[in-house]
Amino acid sequence: MNLQLQLRRFGVSALRIIPLSFADSIATLLGFLFYCILKQRRRYIEHNLRHIFFDKPVEPKQFNRYVRNTFVNYGRHMVDFLRLGFMSGEDFSVEMIGIENAFEALKLNRGCALLTLHLGNWDYAGAYLATRGLPISALVEDIDPAMLDLYTEHRERTGMKTFPVSRSAFAFVNTIRSNRIMAILGDRDVVGNGIPVPFFSGVRKVPRGLGEIIIKKQLPVVFGYMVFHPLRKRRYLGLIEPPVFFAGGVEEFNRHIVRKFEEFIRLYPDQWIVFHPEWVDEMRA
């Protein structure tokens, strides 16, 4: 029996009856606990933050707050992810800026790539956009089949389609032929054959082949994210920028997406949820 799977199923059942405010309190407590005991994960987050603020050092107290908040935010994001298993369209709490840009991109009738990153709650974002009438698909990481089934059940309840990264070629064909939006997390190389690129003060890998197909097929690209609302007007703040096209080479494409990702991460450093040692080299420090 997969213990992690059973715990997540239990979490879904519990969240049906637990008020969201109470669930947030539990997630905050667990996030702080994991911050204290998961020393290796904590070091990964600290390393990320040192790269983010390589040219703008922060006070130690603020730095530690960012580290701690990353764990807490992850816990709260997981609460909302598990709630996708039973939420309706009216249950989403989002201030959405620029959703019309996605609809505008689809008017070209050639599909669209929504480039985002592991910032905030990307699963909540995709499910929310589907409830607003966008034909959206997403590339997802290949994981344990039983866990993938559970995740797929949550992600697709509101109309979003998902494709494992191992079927990315088929996913792009479907996106173009069906004039859909393909959401892609472009800040991590989950396959292991990515392209090294300068990223903040170091080097990370971005997915190989992404730039080639977007440039070759002349797919419009929109950048976006969904994070906890900094002003708490709603639970989340979402952004989709106007569509852009890439006519140059892959290197130019990769430089552009990295600049955009750096811009987003700098705005919300404690919502970049990357608990992995993926820095290839130190470069700008």
pTM for this prediction: 0.93
Structure tokens at 124: 């909540």
Closest of 80, 76, 109, 79 to residue 93, by C-alpha: 80
Q: Residue 79: give the domain boundaries.
A: 3-282
User: What percent of the chain stands above pLDDT 90?
Assistant: 83
What is the predicted pLDDT for the residue at 173? 93
User: What totals of helices (H) and strands (E) does the chain contain, helices first?
Assistant: 10, 10
Span 115-133, pLDDT tens digits: 999 999 999 999 999 999 9
Q: What is the mean pLDDT of the chain?
A: 93
DSSP 92-144: --EEEE-HHHHHHHHTTSS-EEEEE-SBB-HHHHHHHHHHTT--EEEEE----
What is the predicted pLDDT for the residue at 284? 44
Q: Give the pLDDT band of residue 283 (cuts 50, 70, 90).
A: very low
- Per the structure, how many domains does the chain have? 1
Neighbours of 241 (CB within 10 A): 17
Span 222-254, pLDDT tens digits: 999 999 999 999 999 999 999 999 988 999 999
What is the predicted pLDDT for the residue at 85? 87
Closest of 190, 201, 191, 208 to residue 279, by C-alpha: 201
Span 211-230, pLDDT tens digits: 999 999 999 999 999 999 99
* Beta strand segments in the chain, E: 94-97, 112-116, 136-140, 161-164, 181-185, 195-199, 202-206, 221-228, 236-240, 281-282
